[in-house]
A and B are shown apart, each in its own frame.
Chain A
């Protein structure tokens, strides 16, 4: 049977795309718009609340998934888009974007384990 690494890349891409579609608008609204503008009270995202949430294993798992899957989705789509814009150095591009996604994921893991 033909071997392909495509499903390994495409699986997290599809999962990340679906998760991003479900959570990104509301997350961006809460952390990037509503709390900074005072539409939601600043205590909604206070240090104590955030640390309490990220201090539980469920909270760590949720935050890990919220960062890693959309990051992988974004990396893969960036790779395809760069190809569509005429850059034909796919190996290099893939290396760069997947490394970036991996760096974000590792950063999140290290941070979460320290909380």
Chain B
């Protein structure tokens, strides 16, 4: 090792602005903030549900406020981005062997998108249909 190793200075909070690839990376990583806040909202909703109708109705009314709507629209966009980026790397994250060959990446991605569509439809239909 050299005695004076060159350490490339990296600006700590702005390095990702240098390159579109880095920007896409940081957007992907930031999706977790929205997912985290949404799970907090969900668990707060469950807490309200456990406290009775009055608390739960108040919680649902809060969801109708402009601030909550704006948050959820952003969260929806970021959640889509998370899903797409997550499924698009599944061939690298979970490579599958079949015999001596790797299963084609595009097939793995398509299966995940199909599962995503199926799960979404099941949830949507159970909200709409079950108990309607």
Judged by a CB distance under 8 angstroms, whether A45 is at the interface is: yes
Instruction: Judge whether B12 and A86 touch: CB under 8 Å.
Output: yes
Judged by a CB distance under 8 angstroms, whether A80 is at the interface is: yes
- CB contacts under 8 Å to B, within A49-107, are 49-52, 54, 63, 66-67, 70-71, 73-75, 77-78, 80-81, 84-86, 100-101, 104-105, 107
Question: For A18, what are the chain B residues with a Cβ–Cβ distance below 8 Å?
Answer: 86
Instruction: Judge whether B63 and A75 touch: CB under 8 Å.
Output: no
Q: Given the interface contacts A25-B120, A74-B33, A114-B50, does A104 sit within 8 Å of B40 by beta carbon?
A: yes
Cβ proximity bits A17-47 to B, threshold 8 Å, 1 near / 0 not: 1101111111111111101110010111101
Count A-B pairs with CB separation below 8 Å.
165
Question: For B40, what are the chain A residues with a Cβ–Cβ distance below 8 Å?
Answer: 71, 104
Judged by a CB distance under 8 angstroms, whether A9 is at the interface is: no
Number of interface residues of A (CB under 8 A): 57
13 additional A-B residue pairs with CB within 8 Å, beyond A24-B35, A44-B127, A73-B35: A18-B86, A23-B123, A26-B123, A27-B42, A28-B72, A36-B64, A52-B131, A66-B39, A70-B35, A74-B35, A75-B36, A104-B40, A110-B47
User: What are some 5 contacts across the A-B interface (CB < 8 A)?
Assistant: A67-B39, A70-B35, A73-B32, A100-B36, A104-B40
